Amino acid sequence: MDQPDSLESRISSGGSFQPPRKILNTSTRPSKLLQQCAGASTKKMGQGKGRCSGEASREASHEDSADNSKTSRCKWSHAEDVALVNVMVEMVASGVYKCDNGFKPGYLNHLEEALKITCPNSRMKARPHIESRQKSLKKDWFIVNDMICGIWHGTSGFGFDSISNMVTAPDDVWEDYLRNYPEARPWRLKSFPHYENCCIIFGNDRAT
């Protein structure tokens, strides 16, 4: 197996991917959200501080700290995660706020407005919460996609179970891979329900 590249260099370089066979079922209507948010204010949001409350604290499933700043740490509910991913998929499909190298200016504020509609109790702000969660999703997707598609490492033997939303591979394949890429270890037992939609969101990204 070739010498491993750093995760940061793989993320900034982008790469091709094998498109998923299906998109995860979701409970919201992203296209409707886009219409509702079309006239939303795009003023710059302040740097929110303090702990999150409401729905975000009741159904905690994720905690992000992309820049190791206390102000960026916030627990995301499952509903908020689903809403965020849905709207990002719709932005890619419609071309709204999406460009070849990522997203156009103003997209974070658009996502904030969409979350307010879908999850009225959400306290997530464009910065730092949504920006941090988007970076976390992208990092997770690169790690998982590297295993499944083998674009960077020439790997084989990995698959993705769309029912359990988990990476699959024989034990010997896992053990060999983890010796070189220990950052992938959590995904041996952890599900990634947003993987297939993240292929749509991040699959064509380059340096962002």
Lowest-confidence pick of 47-56, 173-182, 189-198: 47-56
Q: Is the pLDDT confidence value at 49 over 50?
A: no
Q: Is the pLDDT of residue 5 over 70?
A: no
161 pairs with which residues across the strands? 166
Q: How far apart are CA 169 and CA 93, in angstroms?
A: 31
- Give tens-digit pLDDT for 126-137: 999 999 999 999
Q: Is 70 exceeded by the pLDDT of residue 65?
A: no
pTM of the model: 0.66
How many other CB atoms are there within 10 angstroms of residue 93's CB atom?
A: 14
pLDDT of residue 4: 52
pLDDT given at position 9? 52
Q: Is residue 152 pLDDT above 70, yes or no?
A: no
- What is the average pLDDT across 6-26? 46
Burial class (CB in 10 A: 0-12, 13-18, 19+), 3: exposed
What's the mean pLDDT in 169-198?
A: 95
Give me the mean pLDDT over the 159-188 stretch: 95
166 sits in which H/E element? strand 166-168
pLDDT, residue 73, reads 63
Q: Does the pLDDT at position 162 exceed 50? A: yes
Query: Could you please report the per-residue DSSP string of 35-97?
Result: HHHTT---PPPP---S---THHHHTEEEEE-TTS-GGG-EEEEHHHHHHHHHHHHHHHHH-TT
What backbone phi and psi angles, to 5 degrees, belong to 105?
Answer: -55, 140
| pLDDT reported for residue 99 | 78
Tell me how far apart the alpha carbons of residues 162 and 191 are, in angstroms, rounded to a whole number: 10
Please, which residues bridge with residue 63 across strands?
75
Whole-number Å distance between alpha carbons of 1 and 55: 45
Average of per-residue pLDDT values in the chain: 73
pLDDT, tens digit, 9 for 90 and up, residues 74-113: 789 898 999 999 989 988 888 878 777 788 888 999 999 9
- Domain layout of the chain by residue ranges: 8-15+23-202
- Would you state the pLDDT for residue 151? 64
Q: Give the residue with greater pLDDT, 45 vs 123.
A: 123
Among 24-33, 164-173, 195-204, the least confident range: 24-33
